[in-house]
Amino acid sequence: MSDISVLFVCMGNICRSPTAQGVFESVVEEADLGRRIRIDSAGTHAYHVGEPPDRRAMQAAAGRGIDLGGQRARRVEKSDFEHFDYVLAMDSSNLDDLLSVCPQPYRDRVSLFLEFADNPVRLDVPDPYYGGGKGFEEVLDLVEAGARGLLETIRQQLK
């Protein structure tokens, strides 16, 4: 059983949150903490439930050695707030959606993912869905910064 659990959330769970899940899984494995941290992702909307990540997200991630192919989109469930220590929104719109359905006792678990980045240039991870490949690279850059900061925060908890 894991000590800490993290859920990454975007709108459809096919671009940003699966990328964050894949990147964070990678940094957690590099830190040899894979058995101690459970990682998942979900969407605030059910548009793509059961679908794999967007092919452009998978291609961009693969370019950095990260495989997103085993993931499937799912929608956030009320039980997620109880079962995850961190429920991390990719942007303020998703944060608002999460807080609107989060039971009061678990609201302190919900925050913006990029709040964990060291000196973030922005707090929202932009949605690359309607853009080109450059948007997916920007998402990866932001997510990598957030993942490193989140790992350091969790490392302190695990001591």
- Residue 75 catalytic? no
- Please tell me the number of Cα atoms within 13 Å of 158 on its side-chain side: 19
Candidates 3, 15, 16, 72; catalytic one: 16
Report the Cα 11 to chain-centroid distance in Å: 11
Candidates 40, 91, 124, 127; catalytic one: 127
- Residue 55 catalytic? no
- Residue 80 catalytic? no
Candidates 10, 15, 54, 109; catalytic one: 10
Cβ neighbourhood burial of 9 (10 Å; 0-12, 13-18, 19+): buried
Rounded CA separation 42/13 (Å): 5
Catalytic residues: 10, 16, 127
